[in-house]
Homo-oligomer: A and B are copies of this chain.
Amino acid sequence: VVIVGAGFGGLQCAKALAGAAVDITLVDQRNHHTFQPLLYQVATAGLGADDIAHSVRGIFQHQPNVTFRLGTVVGVDVESSHVLVDPGPALPYDHLVLAAGAATSTFGVPGVAEHAFELKSVAEALALRNQVLTCFERADVEPAFVADGGLTFVVVGGGPTGVETCGALSELVHRVLCADFHALDMSAVRIVLVEATDHVLGGFHPRLRAYGLERLADMGVEVQLAAAVAGIEPTAVVLASRERIAAHTTVWVAGVRAVPMADALPFPKGPGGRITVGPDLTVPGHPSIHVIGDLADARRTDGTPLAGVAPVAMQAGRFVAQAIATGEPRVFRYRNKGTMATIGRNAAVTELPLGLRFRGFPAWVLWLFVHIMYLVGFRNRANVLVNWGWNYLTYDRAARLIVRPERDGSE
């Protein structure tokens, strides 16, 4: 069994095959699993990079049927059943599980790839942290920089990641940096959330959306709804309405598509380049190739697509593991256990099945609990608990370091 991708889906699949009489090779282009839902906290100095990532080899130290391979998948030879990996030899497979996840979708907007920050990896989160802190340092000595939008932070995309990033940025600025920079006027800081539709937190109940908007307004975040972005420049965001927002920092969390690897694979694709799969999560005509998580265009029986969230990928990973172990194809059914997003201190929204909805403090406590539970590794959990406890009690964000590479350390 070859599993491509050590995200939520790939990990669950490999773990669920622990007792099975199979040899598993897990391939990823990074040596660590990234807990993507908390990347925004690394970007806003609330957590360290090491708190939310975990060595893949470490996860499987005690599962002898898993071998890890660091490398990039450059193709799949379906004729000979081999996965082509760079560097190193190709990997033969009997069963292939593609779980390589999603990349940022620019929707063809010019300037996104060149000038916007993204939040899909630890390195990107650290780059954004460096950028935010450097803007404040520069503003402290260069008043013209502030007038030029140096302290304006635009977040494009009003989904959970965009809302969480805006909330965390606001807390960083108004609870921590205001004390760090005595001489700076924090009223010059603008945090702008730009969303193309007429609401934030799509996927949540309208009452929770309204609560989110209200909390964002309380935190000083300017929300621009029904605002499409026409282009991103180094020091401005241009909207379709021709409005220009002067900003040196733009975060693009507006959408995802399949990782570029998918484009090279000879399988039919659905929206966003996702690989079309049948109800058993295999590629039609290739019963030994499974696709799960954000890489798959999987549908419910009524034809609606499954959301690109961690619980879907995890359940699909376990489902595919069972299908491989038993050899019996079945139909994947996603059991929705709910969705959640946090806006700030004591403020979150949670939507559970059967119409159960929470907001405010109870939703926030539930959010904390679920995120700690799903972190990989006891040490990561303990560190995150220490940091969150510290942040909550002191209003501090201790990881506000600017660390730039002084040499790249490559061979």
Contacts and interface: CB of A to CB of B under 8 A. Distances in A.
Interface string A217-242: 00000000000000000100000000
Contacts of A400: 31, 55, 57-58
A126 B386 CA distance: 23
Interface in A175-213: 179-183
Contacts of A390: 378-379, 382
A383 interface: yes
A403 B57 contact: no
A329 interface: no
Interface stretch (A64-72, A277-285, A287-295, A307-315): A64-72
Q: Which of A179, A378, A382, A398 has the most CB of B within 10 A?
A: A398
A366 to B, nearest CB: 24
Given A32-B401, A398-B379, A50 B48 contact: yes
B126 A403 contact: yes
Contact of A49 (B50, B55, B58): B50
A303 interface: no
A contact patch SS = mixed
Given A31-B402, A396-B379, A409-B130, A137 B70 contact: yes
Contact of A386 (B67, B68, B69, B379): B379
Interface in A160-188: 179-183
Copies of this chain, tallied across the complex: 2
Nearest to A33: B401
B122 A403 contact: yes
Contact of A61 (B130, B180, B378): B180
Contacts of A382: 386, 390
A36 interface: no
A326 interface: no
Given A48-B49, A123-B406, 18 more contacts: A48-B50, A54-B398, A57-B400, A58-B396, A58-B398, A67-B182, A70-B402, A87-B141, A122-B403, A123-B404, A123-B405, A127-B407, A127-B409, A379-B390, A379-B396, A379-B398, A380-B398, A382-B386
11 contacts: A32-B402, A48-B51, A48-B383, A55-B400, A55-B401, A58-B180, A70-B402, A122-B401, A128-B409, A134-B410, A404-B408
